[in-house]
Amino acid sequence: MAELMVDARSVRKRYGSNEVLKGISLTVTQGEVLCIIGPSGSGKSTFLRCLNHLESINGGRIYVNSELMGYREVGSVLHEMKPSEIARQRMSIGMVFQRFNLFPHLTALQNIIEAPIGVAGMNQDDARNLGLDLLKQVGLSDKADLYPFMLSGGQQQRVAIARALAMKPKLMLFDEPTSALDPELVGDVLDVMKSLAKAGMTMIVVTHEMGFAREVADQVVFIDNGQIVEMGTPKQVLDNPQEERTKAFLNKVL
Amino acid sequence: MAVAPQPQTDNSDDVVAVPLRHPWRWVFGIIVTVLLAAFIWALVSADSIQHDIVFRFLFDSRILIGMLVTLGITVLCMFIATVLATLLAIMKLSPNPLLRWISTGFIEFFRGTPLLLQIVFWGYLGIIFPNIVLGIPYTDVIFQSWPTSQVIPALLAGVIALSLNEAAYSAEIVRAGILAVDSGQVEAAKSLGMSGGYTMRRIILPQAMRVIIPPLGNEFIGMLKNTSLLQVIAVTELYTVASKISSANLAQIELLVVSGFWYLVMTTVLGFPQRALERKYGKGFVAAAGGKLLKVSRL
């Protein structure tokens, strides 16, 4: 059996007295694609951000690649990790954001090679070659020296994917990667994600693209109100939902 | 960017209209011109200003050296102040309450007391603390002791006073610049495994610079003029030199004109490096890269 990449055990997250994650448990094995769907405010993005410890959790455990995220467990006592240790953990988890979050003062290529050079210690030439390869992979070879504002939303998002891939992550997190895009630009980004999935990348994708989920996902999770309502293959969850809430949601979006 | 060849545009049905006229702009323009001309004429024709004295001292070597001292102090103080201000701004945004408290206290103190008072304080430090002592506090153990007035001569006292005061003001400018950077930038940096310090250096500050430079340019000009306050502790900068000369030859107005002229020249010239910096850090931002986005309407 394939190795566990993500093991989330009853993850809870509160903002003040507002509990946004009420015990989420799921596992993702290596090479698997998990799509998380659900209404806005359901906690799906928050859960994704907990996975690389952009948000700390209030309860439960998250293991990525068999490592407990954000804490060291000594006996039964949890110790907060130092920022440098958390940074090291994040190096193997790529993340793509809804609003791209490219660095506006750097060109497309510079965006991609900043972390490999500055964080992973790669030399300039290797990083440059890697960056150009990745740009080719996302179909933007001719945009290397353009600044983000000169690119369309779809192009920016593909650069952002290349930037995350440059750190050679074992896991990729996508937080509604096509929600901020014009409809005709969505396809290019989804194509890049599909080819990534085919190449065997482990991916967790928060998305409203049901077509993508149906085609690419190994597992689909429907989250509502901070809880997993239904989980299974795309066929089970999207085509034959058992829960009323899932049915109601799918009726609205499909 | 690859641009597809455009077909020839057909202008034949363009709107043809008489441009809107702005008669009041002409009226105000004439009024302002007349007033300005009258003022300049008053200056030129005033009997109390001896123009030959102005021209004689305009290029006097003492004045020119004083100007260089002023420029040197300004550049040095702004450099120290900017470095210190960046540290203070980062401290004030730090999750560490002690650092926050120190930074806030520093800023409040140096903004809250008059600059002139601070200059006099540093200048007269030798009277308050005659000796600078290296030893163990609250005991009689002394390793080494130096007379303060030798360690901190007037020039150094002036540089310290101006730098610390300016750091307090600039810290808020730098902090505003840091806060202006989108929080998504920090998240993206974190997700790539960048440390806090690395993110600040390579991602946040370069973007903050775009917001910081215009007001910092203002501070630079303010600093250039504030160096004249160092006259009270007898630092030989431009204004001190000019007032020394005028107290000997009693041509006060003429030497004010001379020093005023050079201050104006320096502040004008300093605008050029500022614009160069704005272009450098504006790369990647639409407004700065495009340059002339504002349409200039005619008179």
**pLDDT surpasses 80 at B7:** no
Tokens (6 digits) for A107: 């060109």
Which of A94, A66, A86 shows the shortest CA–CA distance to A172? A94
A18: amino acid identity, one letter: N
Q: Is the Cβ–Cβ distance between B50 and B254 less than 8 Å?
A: yes
Is B222 exposed, middle or buried (CB count within 10 Å of its CB: 0-12, 13-18, 19+)?
middle
B42 has a pLDDT exceeding 90: no
Interface of A with B in 189-208 (CB under 8 A): none
**Residue B290: what pLDDT?**
44
pLDDT, mean over chain B: 88
Question: pLDDT by residue (tens digit) across B260-278?
Answer: 999 999 999 988 888 888 8
- CA–CA dist B111, B167 (Å, integer): 9
Average pLDDT over residues A81-95: 95
Say yes or no for a CB contact (<8 Å) between B188 and A83.
no
**Segment (H or E) for A194:** helix A183-198
In contact, A147 and B284? CB cutoff 8 Å: yes
Q: Taking the CB of residue A31, how many other CB atoms lie within 10 A of it? A: 15
B289 closest CA partner among A9, A92, A6, A146: A146
Residues 6 or more apart from B89 whose CB is under 8 A from it?
B103, B171, B172, B174, B175, B177, B178
Nearest to B194 among A87, A107, A160 (CB): A87
Rounded to 10°, the helix B97-112/B154-179 angle is 120
Q: Does A167 contact B192 at a Cβ distance shorter than 8 Å? A: yes
According to DSSP, the residues that pair with A14 across neighbouring strands are A19
Residue A214's closest CA among A240, A189, A239?
A239
Distance CA B130, CA B127 (A): 5
Query: Is the Cβ pair A90, B191 closer than 8 Å?
Result: yes
Predicted confidence band of residue B4 (pLDDT cuts 50, 70, 90): low
Q: Give Cα separations from B83 to A146, A200, B76, B169, B197 (angstroms).
A: 31, 48, 11, 12, 15
pLDDT average, residue stretch B44-59: 84
Q: Would you state the pLDDT for residue B118? A: 96
- Condensed to tens digits (0 to 9), the pLDDT of residues B142-165 reads 888 888 777 778 899 999 999 999
pLDDT at A225 over 50: yes
Lowest mean pLDDT among A176-190, A213-227, B75-89, B127-141: B127-141
DSSP-derived letter for residue B296 is P
Q: Which of B233, B74, B68, B78 is nearest to B153 (CA)?
A: B233
Q: Is the pLDDT of residue B1 over 50?
A: no
8 A C-beta contact, residue A214 and residue A33: no
B10, pLDDT greater than 80:
no
Cα B92 from Cα B258, distance rounded (Å): 42
| Minimum distance, in Å, between the CA of residue A84 and any CA atom of chain B | 6
User: Rg for chain B (alpha carbons), in Å?
Assistant: 26
Q: Indicate the range of B12-16, B135-139, B293-297 predicted with least confidence.
A: B293-297
pLDDT at B294 over 70: no
CB A163 within 8 A of CB A115: yes
d(CA B55, CA B59) in angstroms, rounded, equals 7
- Provide the pLDDT confidence category of residue A227 given band limits of 50, 70 and 90: very high
**Alpha-carbon radius of gyration of chain A:** 18
Could you read off the pLDDT of A146-193 as tens digits, one per residue?
A: 999 999 999 999 999 999 999 999 999 999 999 999 999 999 999 999
Half-sphere exposure of A48 (CA within 13 A, CB side): 31
**Interface residue A115 vs chain B (CB under 8 A):** yes
What's the mean pLDDT in B228-243? 93
Per the DSSP assignment, residues forming a β-bridge with A94 are A172
What's the token pair of residue A137? 């992979």
When pLDDT is cut at 50, 70 and 90, the band that residue B3 belongs to is low
Q: What is the pLDDT of residue B201?
A: 96
Q: Does B19 touch chain A (CB under 8 A)?
A: no
Are A166 and A97 in contact by the 8 Å Cβ rule? The answer is: no
- ipTM for the whole complex: 0.94
Q: CB–CB of A104 and B1 under 8 A?
A: no
Burial class from Cβ neighbours inside 10 Å (0-12, 13-18, 19+) for residue A237 reads: buried
Question: Chain B within 8 Å of A81 (Cβ-Cβ)?
Answer: no
**Residue B247 structure tokens:** 């107290």
Task: Please give the pLDDT value at position B293.
Answer: 46
For A1, the token pair is: 């059996």
Task: Tell me which amino acid residue A20 is.
Answer: V
Chain-centre distance for alpha carbon B169 = 10
d(CA B181, CA B171): 16
**Cβ A61 vs Cβ A72: under 8 Å:** no
Chain B: give the shortest CA distance to residue A161, in Å. 11
- Residues A14, A20: contact at Cβ < 8 Å? yes
- Find the largest Cα–Cα distance for chain B: 95
- The string of DSSP codes covering B44-76 is HH-TTS-HHHHHHHHT-HHHHHHHHHHHHHHHH
In this prediction, residue B134 carries a pLDDT of 83
**Residue B250 in this model has a pLDDT that exceeds 90:** no
> Does the distance separating the beta carbons of B207 and A104 come in below 8 Å?
yes
Q: How far is A198 from chain B (nearest CA, A)?
A: 23
Pairing outcome for strands A33-37 and A202-206: parallel
Q: Any chain B CB within 8 A of the CB of A91?
A: yes
**Residue among B184, B190, B210 minimizing CB distance to A90:** B190
Q: State how far the Cα of B147 lies from the Cα of B93, in Å rounded to an integer.
A: 38
- How far does chain B reach from its first CA to its final CA, in angstroms? 37
Q: Evaluate if residue B6 carries a pLDDT over 70.
A: no
C-beta of residue B171 within 8 angstroms of C-beta of residue B149: no
